[in-house]
């Protein structure tokens, strides 16, 4: 069946609630995957989404991180975090099955700095997720892995290649970790439709980065086999960045026939 999915790092759902609800009213996606919700599940503003007829599935905490999957159809299966011990350091994975499609909604660790313990944690995190998907998703399972990956895959996905060389979000180690995850049979839906450079999803709030086009493509939609073949369009939606108090990320639409 057709599917319209949107992934969006909202950088605090309560701070951007009016924007998110306006977006929802205008576009009515089947599934909206939010990241960096920054709120405990008990305090998440469920009611406005329910008033629109959506089911709200949460894995969040106060402070930072947090993911939410907002869907027209209720999930038939829900897993929060990694499915095997140890628990993740923060709520970053929400794994649901919606209308037969397994959707991994991810807020990938940032990595902080190359010389910090957060960087090897990021690489290990990818390895754990790769192992989980290979162990639990059969060849016939339709899978989408989407969210904020905190990795720009190649030179087309950074505004200044020289400045990004061997920098966080663009290291050989991160690219290898992402390639390992994609070896699960996942393919980049955006790149199915566009080879164009400079198509970014994140822009720093500082230095007028959005207005100057200085960004990174770090928010992705990956899909397996038949689902990838059904991918008909992917759009980086710049309009909400012009709204009052915007997120630093753009919502990414993905349509599947």
Query: Mind telling me the catalytic residues?
Result: 107, 148
Q: Which strands make up the sheet holding 67-71, listed edge to edge?
A: 55-59, 67-71, 31-35, 3-9, 252-256, 231-236
Task: State both tokens at 76.
Answer: 């038939």
Task: State both tokens at 176.
Answer: 């290898």
Residue 133 sits at φ, ψ, to 5 deg, of: -65, -40
44 touches 59 (CB < 8 A)? no
160 touches 214 (CB < 8 A)? yes
Residue 157 sits at φ, ψ, to 5 deg, of: -100, 10
202 touches 215 (CB < 8 A)? yes
> How long a stretch of residues is the chain?
257
What is the 8-class DSSP label of residue 241? G
Report d(CA 149, CA 117) in Å as an integer.
Answer: 18
209: alpha, beta or left? (left if phi > 0; alpha if psi -120 to 50) = alpha
């Amino acid at each position: 069946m057709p599917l319209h999915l949107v992934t969006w790092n909202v950088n605090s759902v309560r701070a951007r609630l009016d924007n998110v609800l306006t977006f929802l009213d205008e576009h009515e996606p089947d599934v909206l995957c939010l990241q960096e919700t920054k709120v405990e599940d008990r305090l998440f503003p469920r009611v406005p989404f329910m008033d629109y007829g959506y089911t709200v599935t949460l894995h969040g905490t106060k402070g930072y991180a947090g993911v939410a999957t907002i869907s027209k159809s209720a999930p038939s299966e829900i897993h929060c975090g990694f499915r095997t011990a140890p628990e993740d350091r923060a709520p970053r994975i929400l794994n649901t099955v919606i209308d037969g499609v397994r959707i991994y909604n991810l807020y990938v660790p940032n990595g902080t700095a190359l010389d910090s313990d957060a960087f090897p944690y990021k690489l290990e995190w990818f390895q754990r997720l790769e192992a989980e998907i290979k162990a639990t998703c059969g060849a016939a399972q339709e899978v989408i892995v989407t969210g904020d990956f905190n990795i720009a895959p190649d030179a087309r996905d950074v505004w200044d290649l020289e400045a990004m060389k061997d920098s966080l979000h663009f290291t050989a180690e991160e690219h290898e970790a992402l390639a390992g995850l994609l070896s699960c049979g996942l393919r980049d839906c955006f790149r199915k439709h566009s080879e164009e450079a400079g198509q970014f999803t994140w822009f720093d709030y500082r230095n007028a980065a959005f207005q100057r086009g200085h960004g990174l493509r770090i928010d992705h939609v990956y899909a397996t086999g038949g689902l990838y073949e059904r991918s008909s369009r992917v759009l980086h939606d710049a309009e909400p960045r012009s709204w009052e108090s915007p997120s630093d990320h753009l919502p990414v639409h993905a349509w599947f026939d």
